[in-house]
Amino acid sequence: MVRFSDHFIKHERLILFFLMVYLINPFGYGNYSFFLLFSLLLFDKLLGKYFDKNSLILLAFSLTYVAIIYQYQGVYNVGNSNMIVYLIAPIMMYEVGKFFQNKYCNGNSFYKITFIILIMFSFIAFVSIALDIYQVGFKGSRNIILLNYDSSVKKSATLINSMISPFLALFGTLFIPAKLMERDYKKVYLLFSIIALLFSIRLGSRTGLIIFILSFILNYLFFIRFISTKKKVICTVLFLILSFVAFNVSIKGNSDLFYSYQDRLESDEYGSATAGGRTKLWSVGIENLVKYPMGAVVYDRDLSYSHNFWLDIGRVAGVIPMFFMLVFCIKMLYVLYKLVKIRSISLYKRSVFLSLNIAFLSIFLVEPILEAYFAFLSVYFFFSGLMYAMYKQSKKNA
């Protein structure tokens, strides 16, 4: 059985508590817990201890982004507390990830830490969607009430889907061989992945379906040589079934289960052919980068989101902070590519990293995640730090 009584929980209770409050964000006050976490890390002399070149890139991003939006006060509305979070969260979450990996992630502690962070992040979404299904079934509005916010205001389905997307992606580990001590964690991950799929269908999220299937495909392609012939056949059949269900039943069928997809899939403006209407927004976002290299919002207060993480950074603050964030993300993608090829790291562990990054990058491509849901970005920085520390450890021990 999986147990979560590792000594890291006992020794890092305060860090985990402040992270939990920040990620759950009760009534929108999670930022205050974040400031307490920052103070604790300063007191324990952990900040700066794991500073590296990636930290420098994140620092350059934060400084340039905040400096520019500070100049746009009155035109671009953002609170002072949010600006402070934008300034310190990227580098802090990255270094906390490195700290956990360097101090605790030997053996299977990695899986425990991963599960704890992900369940903290997605807990409210899981409970809120489950309650909504219990009350109205699968035929309710796509947007639902999140229990940690104002109970009279519904939150967008895209935001809620981002909260469960990391678990969605873990379905990709289904046929990846796991060692004896890893199998219990694999079962837990897959259980939550299936639940997340049902909840994503309830939200009518096409991005959720794409993440679910894409993770399955990429894990298969990256690790096919490690999968037995029997599992390859099963894997191929399952993929065909998933494709049929996702792209035929959900489009042509009238089942209650896929009710939330019907109007969206039939729309000329917001259908699948236009990525939910995002292709036009991406085009406008690129044009605005050329016209307004220091940010377009100061010239057009009613400018809509580009629905792309990097383009939306450019929309608000221009090409300089966008460049630094692109450099960081590309570097982490390169580290991921190198890490999945390192045989000294458990095959299943490599699969988990690949799956999580599929979720993060897929959401980045289609959502203005920095402005819409910064906690998602914080979790990405945490796992980037954890991944990079593991990569460096494996190189050192090679």
Instruction: Please report the DSSP string for 11-77 in residue order.
Output: HTHHHHHHHHHHHH-GGG-HHHHHHHHHHHHHHTT-TTTT--HHHHHHHHHHHHHHHHHHHTTTTS-
Q: Which of 48-52, 76-80, 143-147, 389-393 has the lowest mean pLDDT?
A: 76-80
In a domain, 2, yes or no: no
The answer, yes or no, to whether residue 3 has pLDDT greater than 50, is: no
pTM of the model: 0.90
CA distance 222 to 352: 12
Q: Which of 160-174, 182-196, 231-245, 361-375 has the lowest mean pLDDT?
A: 231-245
Q: Please report whether residue 107 resides in a domain.
A: yes
Pairwise pLDDT comparison (278 vs 34), residue with the higher score? 34
Of 106, 208, 220, 119, the residue nearest 174 (C-alpha): 220
Indicate whether 221 belongs to any domain: yes
Q: Is 141 left (phi over 0), alpha (psi -120 to 50) or beta?
A: beta
For residue 1, being part of any structural domain is answered with no
On whether residue 46 sits in a domain, the answer given is yes
Give 272 or 148, the one with higher predicted confidence.
148
What is d(CA 357, CA 215) in angstroms, rounded to the nearest whole number?
A: 9
Backbone torsions φ then ψ of 151, nearest 5 degrees: -70, -10
Rounded to an integer, what distance in angstroms lies between the CA atom of residue 222 and that of residue 241?
21
- Percent of the chain scored above 90 by pLDDT? 44
Query: 373: buried, middle or exposed (CB in 10 Å: 19+, 13-18, 0-12)?
Result: buried
Mean pLDDT for the chain overall:
85
The larger pLDDT score, comparing residue 151 to residue 57, is at 57
3-state SS class at 144: strand
Look up residue 64 and give its two tokens.
Answer: 């340039």
Residue 136 clears pLDDT 50, i.e. is over it: yes
pLDDT-derived band of residue 247, with 50, 70 and 90 as boundaries?
A: low
Q: Is residue 304 in a domain?
A: yes
Mean pLDDT confidence for 14-18:
89
For residue range 288-325, list pLDDT tens digits in order. Answer: 899 989 988 888 777 888 889 999 999 999 999 999 99
| More confident position, 130 or 138 | 130
pLDDT band at 58 (very low <50, low <70, confident <90, very high): very high
Quote the domain boundaries for residue 18: 7-397
Q: How far apart are CA 72 and CA 90, in angstroms?
A: 21
From 6-15, 29-38, 46-55, the region with the lowest mean pLDDT: 6-15
Whether 246 has a pLDDT exceeding 60, the answer reads: no
Any domain includes 161: yes
Per-residue model confidence (pLDDT) at position 206: 83
DSSP assignment of 184-200: HHHHHHHHHHHHHHHHH
- Confidence band for 245, pLDDT divided at 50, 70 and 90: low
pLDDT of residue 231: 78
* % of the chain exceeding 70 in pLDDT: 86
174 belongs to a structural domain: yes
> Do 157 and 144 touch, CB atoms closer than 8 A?
yes
| Cβ-contact 145, 219 below 8 angstroms | no
The number of domains in the chain is 1
Average pLDDT over residues 334-350: 94
